[in-house]
Amino acid sequence: RLKWCVVRRPRTAFTNGQVNLLESVFQVNSYPGIRLREDLAQKLELDEDRIQIWFQNRRAKFRRSFRESSLQFMQK
Amino acid sequence: RLKWCVVRRPRTAFTNGQVNLLESVFQVNSYPGIRLREDLAQKLELDEDRIQIWFQNRRAKFRRSFRESSLQFMQK
DNA sequence: TTTTAATATAATTTC
DNA sequence: GAAATTATATTAAT
């Protein structure tokens, strides 16, 4: 008997090299367009949507750290 | 993300009354046709395919016990 | 060694 | 896409 099940994509384990390139791109452009993402995808042998999610999460991490440091500042 | 998964039908728990009637039918006819199975299904408030599977399993059990007793006989 | 808890972050959901 | 949440891989402590 077959049934539709929701299945999570297995977590992608980026290599150091992949993260290094992504980070260096992030420093100059944290909102890469589809063109650049496709380019990175090909260079890093990843799917473009992995790249897109990586940048979403990276931006979230940046905003989080920014908020936390502002908070520390305000508490002084 | 959706994926096809094989899902087991929840095991049917036959009542004693259901098994009693099925057993008594089995004694006189271990290969009931669709007509009789539908009839039993309605009487027992079960799906006809549950009945069909029950008879398949019951015949297998019978053959198993038959083989075992033959074996015992031959070993004597 | 095995188990548990904390952490980082990938993936998903909700808006 | 942002924010919030969930899930999982890794690591540290036991």
**Residue A24 tokens, joined:** 């260096």
- Residue B1 inside a domain? The answer is no
Residue–nucleotide distance: A65 CA to C14 C1' (Å): 23
In a domain, B36, yes or no: yes
pLDDT digits (tens, 9 = 90+) for A24-53: 999 999 999 999 999 999 999 999 999 999
A53-66 pLDDT, tens per residue?
A: 999 999 999 999 88
Considering the domain boundaries, does residue B55 fall inside one? Answer: yes
Q: Separation of CA A29 and C1' C14 in angstroms?
A: 27
pLDDT confidence of residue B75: 57
Report if CB A60 to strand D is under 7 Å.
yes
Is A8 in Cβ contact with B3 (below 8 Å)?
no
pLDDT in the model for residue A76: 44
Is it the case that residue B72 has pLDDT exceeding 70? no
How many domains is chain A partitioned into structurally? 1
Question: And the tokens for A74?
Answer: 């305000």
Q: Supply the DSSP string of B1-68, one letter for each residue.
A: -EEEEE-PPPPP---HHHHHHHHHHHHH-SS--HHHHHHHHHHHT--HHHHHHHHHHHHHHHHHHHHH
Tens of pLDDT, residues B31-53: 999 999 999 999 999 999 999 99
Nearest residue on chain A to B6, alpha-carbon basis: A2
Q: Is residue A2 part of a domain?
A: no
Q: A23 lies in which domain range?
A: 16-74
pLDDT, position A49? 95
Q: What is the CATH number of the domain that holds A41?
A: 1.10.10.60
Count of A–B CB contacts within 8 Å? 30
Q: What's the gap between Cα B4 and its chain centre?
A: 29
Q: Which residues of B touch A9 (CB under 8 A)?
A: 1
Q: Give the least confident one: A17-21, B20-24, B47-51, B66-70.
A: B66-70
Residue B28 lies in a domain: yes
As a dihedral over the C-alpha atoms of residue B14, residue B19, residue B22, residue B27, rounded to 10 degrees, the angle is 150
pLDDT digits (tens, 9 = 90+) for B56-69: 999 999 998 887 77
Q: Is residue A3 part of a domain?
A: no
pLDDT surpassing 50 at residue A9:
yes
Residue B5 lies in a domain: no
| Residue pair B6/A5 in contact by the 8 Å Cβ criterion | no
